[in-house]
Every structure is written in structure tokens, then in C-alpha cells.
Amino acid sequence: MRQATWMWLLALLPVFACTGCVGLGIAPRLAKRSIHQAASNMELHYEQVLYDLAMIADEPTSLPVYAPTYAGTPAVTDNAQIGSNTVLQHFVPANIFEGFAQESMNPQLQRQDVENWSVDPIIVPEKLEAIRAACQWVIYGPERATRDHPGLLFNPDDFPPEDRERHFNVADRMSALPQSWLRYERRLHPPRGAAYAAHFGDMWAWVTPEGVQGLADFTLVIQNIARVDINSLTLFSIGMRTSSFSFLTLDKEQPKGQVEATVYVDPLLFLTPDNPYFRWRIEGTATNASLRTQISTAGLR
Amino acid sequence: MRRVIFPLIAALACTGCLSVSLKNHTERQIHSLAKYREQATLECLAVVADNPANLPPFANLADGVTQIQDTLSLSATTLFARSASAFGFSQQAIQPLVSRSPKVQWNLAPVADYTQLEALRCACRWVVYGPDEACDECAGILSDPQTDLSPGPHFGVAARLEKLPHGWLHISKGHIPPVGDRCRAHFGDTWVWVLPEDMPYLNEFMLVLLDISTLNIGQANQNPTETPRVLVHLTVTQKTEDTPHIYDLSPASVSDYKLANDLQRMVKGKVLVFGLSAAEIQRLRLSLNAPFVLSEEDYVALVEQNLDPKPDRKEIARVVAELARQPQAFNLETYRGARSALLQAGIAEADVKTILAKMEDPSNPVRIVFGRRAEYLEHLKKLLPAMAAVTRERVADVAQFSASLYSVFNFSRVSGLADAGLNPEQIRLLRADRNLDLPFVGTPDQFVNKLLDVLGENRGNVALVSLLQKVAAAARTPIVFTYSKELSFEQERLLRPEYREYIRDMIQAAVPGKPVEISWEQWMVMTTPFHGARSNVRPDGSVTTPVTTPVRPATLRITPLPDLLGPPRPRMETLQELPGP
């Protein structure tokens, strides 16, 4: 009898486990999952940055990898069902087993937790070079960082209007980073006492709790580079605009009436293109990130 | 029992690490970017190394999704059975199920634009076969568009490629390279590989491929692979009179009566009525008795040849030509002295009354008709069905007028009569007259006379006439034909680079106040047609509207300093009036 009671209790356990009365309701569960997922985003940024720093510490010319998270979808799905199976039997000729044979009950409970992140990797070369230069600044110092691309991290207003390169204007922030916040070395095992750590091969990069301030500030720099629209005019040196210039010309030989020509000129009256040259790039060719995560959560792709 | 419960508890506890697992998988997926880029670059090089004609298969990673799905499932089966001796609980089964399904995915954005594919191939050839073998028929495709003025696309990566030393990429046919799994790829039996010490060059070459593949071609207003263009906007303005018109001086279009008695022209601000001689009319009928499609000048010259030799025959010929020009203009209102004109035309008094009553009936919406004489006669036939045909012909003669002599006056749209100098009583009289609510067609003097009639004054009141002339000027709108007096043809053309300096010199050498000495034919030589930016098919299926007018930068508008600063503060006269700290 005692064993039968335990059996009943076991059968009812899943029923209670997934009800709101024990604090495992679907809505509180979703809230909890959302908080956990959102909290992991910060660590994801930190560890991406540390991974890039380890990569540059291993080989300064490496191309970093960085993929900002654009959208995430936590979802919780509960499913409860109960089935019953009754067996009645009839024998010819009749015997003592005639009639009811057995009854079975099949309760079933299911919970699905789904979480996802949608990431858009950085693919434009200027951003990759800028992230590499920022990492080089931290590991090897500003001189090494500005050797290959002198103006990449500096203010675009400091360059002449003829300059058509992109300038990410993060040098001031880089200069303001605390000293010695990052540690890196080749080692076989993870460092002890590290708040955050990442490795590329046997090269480890980590920060202690005191260095988190520097890591956070540097993450802001990398996010600044990664999330700015690559075609934003804030990255370019903006010079004096061109002016339209109209003048009349006439055909003496075969009069066609009055011909007015309009061209664009610079202040010295040199004919110039009406729009200055920019290397417009494609970025974020992907579909809408929020929609993408929802489709993925629904299992449609 | 504990064996059953513990797995359940463990399964429940494991669900808490879902976010950590997601983070770890996301990190690993992002780290795989480096491997993908490296392999994709080597694959492109291997493909081109195998055959220089091959197109490299390069694709960027557009986006990715990392997803973790945890499933906890508990199912139980309770069985009640009947045996030979008893009926009751038989067995209890529990099936716990815990599963975790990580899913990672990338979406690819393969390079599809033909110029980008060509540039990728040239860049790979540069590395595999050297700079001299990089391009066959696409010279300059890798050069800087800001300096290379040759036609065709320029991707501006030559400077990056020139930094790469020779020999950093190793190629072999048939045997597997001596390096490990890393940094090697093959296409068929052609292997390419990079030694660890040459990895910086592979990284730089990756940037070259990314540079080419991320340029916004076919969707931006300006194609970044094209040399910056200098455009010229040409506007050719031609007077409408220069274009051919239809002139018809047959009797069905302009009657003998009209030519002999009712031609009008403006002389010193007055409308002068005159007529041609019978001989002139006969000559015109003989030589111009059919529709002609000619410019105004040519037709006036034809008419002039058939007129008697008089000093003003050109002006007379122009009046005749205007009457013959299609569409013709017809109007019949009392302002023109229609009553006397109709009587002079030989129409009976009773018919004149009927005609004027119909013409001035406010319910008749058609007051001015532009069209052929036959159409106006049809209109009169509906308006005056009982009238004899010959009478309607004569009415049409009186109604036909030269449009260039007359204007439309809309008194109801004039405001500020008091400011013009009219007194309140005069304004009240003018505003109260219902006839002035309708548009008035005539000369300014005729409109002033109409206003004087309403006010009960005459032209002797010079001061009032002067005021009313101002009112007439405000109410006047020239009669607008269905076509413009001027035609303006515009086109954008691309200036050839070699002529920029020449045009600048011509502009600076121009005599002030005179046109620049550049002929139309020279413009055509110095420029080529501008086709706008080439647009590619968009992956989202949206349609790009083709435009041949470039999107020009908006004019910079600077707010004046006083507007930014606001009104000036009152001047402080003494130290005591200054605000305290």
C-alpha cells in the first residue's frame, strides 16, 4: 500500500511541478529567462573583446572578429495533456475475463525553453581595421596602432576636406583608458582570479576585477566603431560645398535658341562633381534582426 | 525511489544554465568567423590558381542566429488491470525526458554583381600570377577611381595589393602541402597554402576581398567604383512661335466679311478696326486657300507677299496670320460694342436682341471658345437654333478676335481696393455689381470703361481713371492658350574630363553681359549622355525607380546669428542695474 501511494505521488509530481502555485508559472519563468539572457549580453561583449585582444596579442596583424548582437528572443512553451486508455474484451466462448480488462491513464507535461541571439558580423574593412588598430593601441601602444592607418581612430575634423578616408574619432577615448587594465600571456591553463578571460590558441587575455573598468571602457570604444553606420557622414571630413554656376551660351552657326548651362564649381571656379566622392558600402545586408529571431524561435527556419 | 527523483531534480536544475550555454555557443559561432574568412579567401585563390579564368566564389556572412532549446518532458502511465483473481492498481511508469538542442546558423550574402566578381578575380590573379597578369580586358579595375579617369569601374584596391610581397602564397599541383590543416585549400588537384610567417599577408588580402565585396554598387545614388562625374545641365529655351503651327485662311476658317471689315490691331493703346481691299482678299484666297503647317515668321511672310505695298503691311500680315492660326478665339459680349458691331454686320435689330440676351445669360457657361470656326458655328447652332445660318456666320465673324490683343480681368479676385485709393462708396458700388463677378475679356481701357460705367463716371475724371487703371492691372491675366509661349528642353550630360579646363577658360574669357562662346555642337562633342546610376536587382524585391537626374546636395541653410541669439538684451545704463552674482 505504501508503495502504491508513492506511485501516485510520482504520477502527480509533474502536475504540480509546472503549476504557478509552486512559483514555476510560465510568465515568471519567461521573465527570469529574459533577465538571464539580457545579463549574458554584457559578458558576450566582454569576451568578444578579450578574444580579439588575445588574437592581436598573438599576432598583431590578425583580423579581429566582432559580431554585435542585434536582437534576442527568449520564449517558454508549456504543454500539458492527459490521455486515457480503456480495454474491454469479449471472448468466445465467454470466460471469466469477459468485460473490463484494464484502464491506463497517461498524463504528460512538457516545458520548452528557447533563447536565441541574432548577430550581424562586422565585414566592412574599415571597421575591421579600426577594431584591429584599437586592439593594437591597447597591446602595443598608440604608435603601433597608428602606423598602418594614421588617421583611422582620430577626429575627421582634423583632416583636410580632400581626405576621403573614414575616421572613427575614438582616439580621445582610447587615450583616457586606465593604465595596465589588461593582462595577457601565453599559458596552458586559464588564469586564476580573472574577472573575465578569453584565449586565442595558447594566448590568454584577461582582466582582474580592478581591470573591469578598463575593459568596459574599451568595450564602449569597440561598440562605437561596430555600431556606427559605415556611410555616416560623421566619419568623414566635410569641406566647403560646391556651388552651382549657370551661364548662357549661344550657337551662332545654327541657332537653337538660348542655351543655359549649369555646372558645379569650387571656389576657384574649377568644374567639380556635384557630389563629393565617397566609398559607399553595404552593411547589414541581412533581414530585420528582430524578425529573424522570432522566425527562428517559431522554428520556421 | 531516489533514483527516479534525482534525475528529475537534475533536469530541472539544468534549465537554469540555458543563458550561459547560449552565450558560449554565440561566442563560438562568432569565433568561427575568422576561420570562415580565412578558408573563403584561400578557396578563392585555389579556384583562380587552378584556372585563371575561374570566377572566385566569395560570399560574406550577412548575419547569424544562435539558438538553444531546452525541453523538459514528464509523462506517466498508471495502469489498472483485472486479473483472474482481482481488479485494481497494476503498475505505474514514469518517462522523464530532458533534451537540449543548440542551433547555429549563418546567412550568406554571395557576391553577385558582375563588376565585383570581375574585380575579385583580378585581385586573386594579382596574387597568384602577379600584377602583370591581373587583368585581361579590364585594365584599371583595381585602380583608384579618384585618379584613374579611364572608363569602366575602378575598385581602388591596387594600393592595398601593392603592399603585398611576391611569393607569400604557395601553390602546388597534385601534392598535399606540407602545412597542417590550417591555412590551406584546394580546388581539384590545385593546392594553395600559406606559411604561418606569411599570415599577415593573407590577412591583408582578406581585407582586399572584403573591400571589393562590400562596396555599395547598384543601390546608392553614386557608384563608388565610378570616377566622380562632372555633369552639365543644359537648358535649351525656344519660343513657341519658332515651332510650326496650323494656319488656315480658307473661307471656312476666316470669312471675307471678317477680312474686309473687322480686322483689329493695337495702335497707341487703342484697338484700331480696319479691313483689307478686295484685291488683297482675292490674292490671299488664291494662294493660301488651304491649311499650312509653318512657323509664324514663314506664314506671315507668305501673307505679306499678297498684300498691297504699304508701310505697315508686316503688322497687317501678322494680324491676318493670327486670325488664321488654329485654334481660333471667339467671344461675344457687350464690352466690345457687340450691339453696334452686330448691327453694322447687317443683322436685324430683333435678332441682335436675341443674340445678346443669349450671350449675356449667366446660365450660359461657355463665353470664350478656342477652336475651329466650324466648332464655334456648331456652338451657335445649339444656342440660336432658330437663327438663319447666314446670320450665325455673321455672328461668328463679329465674335472672332485676336487673342494677343485681349486679357481676362477677374475683378472678384482683386483685394486692397481701399489701399488703391478708392473710397468706401465706390468700393460698395463695384462690389455690389453682379456683372463684375464674371471674368471680363477685353483691353485694359475697355475694363476701365466698364468700371467707370458702374461708378457712373466718365474718363474726364482723370484721377479716378488713374486709380482704376491700377485696379485693372491687378485684375489682368493674359489670355492663356493651351500651349506655352516658351519651350524648355533640359538634359543632363556628362562632361569629358579633357574639356574641363577648356570650359573654365571659355567662361573666364567671356565678355561681361554676353554669352559664353560655346556652340551647341561643341557641347555635344565635349559631353556624353548621362544615364544615371546603374541599379541592380534588390534582394527584397523592391523596385528601384530609374532616374536620369542626379541627386544633388541640398543647399546649406545657415540660420542668421540674430535669430540664434534672440532679441538683444536691454542695455545696462549703470552698474547698479547689472544682475548680482
Quote the mean pLDDT of chain A. 84
Q: What is the pLDDT of residue B16?
A: 52
Question: Among A134, A155, A160, A154, which residue's Cα sits nearest to residue A145?
Answer: A134
Q: In chain A, what residues touch B516 (CB-CB under 8 Å)?
A: 247-249, 261
Q: What is the pLDDT of residue A242?
A: 77
CB contact under 8 A, B65 and A123: no
Residue A53, min C-alpha distance to chain B (Å)? 13
**Minimum-distance CB partner of A123 among B61, B199, B236:** B61
Residue B508, min C-alpha distance to chain A (Å)? 9
pLDDT over 90 (residue A171): yes
pLDDT over 70 (residue A22): no
Mean pLDDT for the stretch of residues A146-165? 88
Q: Give the number of other CB atoms < 10 A from CB of residue B136.
A: 12
Percent of chain B clearing pLDDT 90 (strictly above): 22
Residue B163, min C-alpha distance to chain A (Å)? 11
Mean pLDDT for the stretch of residues B59-86? 85
Q: What is the pLDDT of residue B202?
A: 94
pTM of the model: 0.66
Residue A203, min C-alpha distance to chain B (Å)? 15
pLDDT over 80 (residue B165): yes
For residue B142, what are the contacts with CB-CB under 8 A and spacing of at least 6? B119, B122, B123, B126, B134, B135, B154, B155, B156, B157, B158, B161
* Strand-strand pairing, B59-82 and B87-110: antiparallel
**Minimum-distance CB partner of B27 among A47, A96, A106:** A47
pLDDT over 50 (residue B535): yes
Confidence of residue B558 (pLDDT cuts 50, 70, 90): very low
Q: Using DSSP, state whether B448 is helix, strand or coil.
A: helix
pLDDT over 50 (residue B286): yes
Q: What is the pLDDT of residue B543?
A: 59
Q: In chain B, what residues touch A6 (CB-CB under 8 Å)?
A: 1
Q: In chain B, what residues touch A276 (CB-CB under 8 Å)?
A: 228
pLDDT over 70 (residue B574): no
Q: What is the pLDDT of residue A12?
A: 58
Q: What is the pLDDT of residue B531?
A: 80
In this predicted model, what pLDDT tens digit does every residue of B259-275 receive, in sequence order? Answer: 998 888 878 767 788 88
Q: Which residue of B has its CA nearest to A149?
A: B160
Residue A120, min C-alpha distance to chain B (Å)? 4
A137 vs B380: CA distance, rounded Å: 93
Q: Sketch the domain layout of chain B as residue ranges.
A: 2-213, 242-405, 407-478, 496-529
CB contact under 8 A, A271 and B237: no
Size of interface A-B (CB pairs under 8 A): 316
Q: In chain B, what residues touch A124 (CB-CB under 8 Å)?
A: 210, 214
Q: In chain B, what residues touch A236 (CB-CB under 8 Å)?
A: none
Q: Render A28-53 in DSSP notation, one character per residue.
A: HHHHHHHHHHHHHHHHHHHHHHHHHH
Lowest-confidence region among A93-97, B13-17, B43-47, B348-352: B13-17
For residue A92, what are the contacts with CB-CB under 8 A and spacing of at least 6? none
Query: How is residue B252 written as a grid cell?
Result: 471656312
B567 vs A62: CA distance, rounded Å: 59
In this predicted model, what pLDDT tens digit does every residue of B100-147 receive, in sequence order? Answer: 988 888 888 888 889 999 999 999 999 999 988 888 777 789 999 988
Quote the mean pLDDT of chain B. 82
Mean pLDDT for the stretch of residues A166-195? 92
Mean pLDDT for the stretch of residues B9-38? 80
Q: What is the pLDDT of residue A9?
A: 60
pLDDT over 60 (residue A14): no
Half-sphere exposure of B339 (CA within 13 A, CB side): 9
Q: What is the pLDDT of residue A259?
A: 84
Q: Which residue of B has its CA nearest to A89?
A: B82
For residue B168, what are the contacts with CB-CB under 8 A and spacing of at least 6? B194, B198, B201, B202
CB contact under 8 A, A279 and B224: yes
Q: Sketch the domain layout of chain A as residue ranges.
A: 45-74+111-239, 240-279
In this predicted model, what pLDDT tens digit does every residue of A28-86 receive, in sequence order? Answer: 888 888 888 888 889 999 999 999 999 999 999 999 999 988 888 888 888 989 999 88
Q: Using DSSP, state whether A73 is helix, strand or coil.
A: strand
Q: What is the pLDDT of residue A65?
A: 95
pLDDT over 60 (residue B573): no
Q: In chain A, what residues touch B30 (CB-CB under 8 Å)?
A: 48, 51, 65-67, 119, 121
**Minimum-distance CB partner of B214 among A61, A251, A282:** A282
pLDDT over 50 (residue A18): no
Mean pLDDT for the stretch of residues B16-22? 82
Percent of chain B clearing pLDDT 70 (strictly above): 84
Mean pLDDT for the stretch of residues B539-564? 52
Q: Which of B18, B27, B63, B80 to mutate to test the interface with A (most CBs of A within 10 A)?
A: B63
Mean pLDDT for the stretch of residues A145-169? 89
Highest mean pLDDT among A142-156, B431-445, B478-492: A142-156
Let me know: does A74 contact A115? Beta carbons within 8 Å.
Answer: yes
In this predicted model, what pLDDT tens digit does every residue of A222-234 receive, in sequence order? Answer: 999 999 988 888 8
In this predicted model, what pLDDT tens digit does every residue of B380-429 receive, in sequence order? Answer: 888 888 888 889 998 898 888 887 777 878 888 888 888 878 888 888 88
CB contact under 8 A, B79 and A112: no
Q: What is the pLDDT of residue B562?
A: 45
Let me know: does B183 contact B38? Beta carbons within 8 Å.
Answer: yes
Confidence of residue A204 (pLDDT cuts 50, 70, 90): very high
**Minimum-distance CB partner of A270 among B89, B206, B504:** B504
Q: What is the pLDDT of residue B572?
A: 43
Alpha helices in chain A (DSSP H): 2-17, 26-58, 125-140, 142-148, 171-175, 212-227, 289-297
CB contact under 8 A, A259 and B207: no
pLDDT over 50 (residue B33): yes
pLDDT over 60 (residue B576): no
CB contact under 8 A, A118 and B199: no
pLDDT over 90 (residue B196): no
Q: In chain A, what residues touch B60 (CB-CB under 8 Å)?
A: 123, 285
Confidence of residue B369 (pLDDT cuts 50, 70, 90): confident
Burial A265-293 (b: 16+ CB within 10 A, else e): beeeeebbbbbbbbbbbbbebbeebeebb
B172 vs B191: CA distance, rounded Å: 5
Q: Which of A9, A58, A262, A282 to mutate to test the interface with B (most CBs of B within 10 A)?
A: A282
Residue of A36 and A200 predicted with greater confidence: A200
A217 vs B203: CA distance, rounded Å: 27
ipTM of the complex: 0.79
Confidence of residue B6 (pLDDT cuts 50, 70, 90): low
Q: Which residue of A has its CA nearest to B30?
A: A67
Mean pLDDT for the stretch of residues A247-264? 73
Confidence of residue B242 (pLDDT cuts 50, 70, 90): low
Alpha helices in B183-277 (DSSP H): 199-213, 256-261
Residue B503, min C-alpha distance to chain A (Å)? 8
Q: What is the pLDDT of residue B181?
A: 59
For residue B298, what are the contacts with CB-CB under 8 A and spacing of at least 6? none
CB contact under 8 A, B33 and A273: no
Q: What is the pLDDT of residue B28?
A: 92
Mean pLDDT for the stretch of residues A136-149? 91
Q: In chain A, what residues touch B82 (CB-CB under 8 Å)?
A: 97, 100-102
Q: In chain B, what residues touch A47 (CB-CB under 8 Å)?
A: 23, 27
Let me know: does B202 contact B195? Beta carbons within 8 Å.
Answer: no
Outline where DSSP puts E strands in B111-218. 170-173, 184-187, 190-193
Confidence of residue B560 (pLDDT cuts 50, 70, 90): very low
Q: In chain B, what residues touch A123 (CB-CB under 8 Å)?
A: 60-61, 210, 213-214
Q: What is the pLDDT of residue B211?
A: 95
Residue A199, min C-alpha distance to chain B (Å)? 11
Q: What is the pLDDT of residue A150?
A: 87
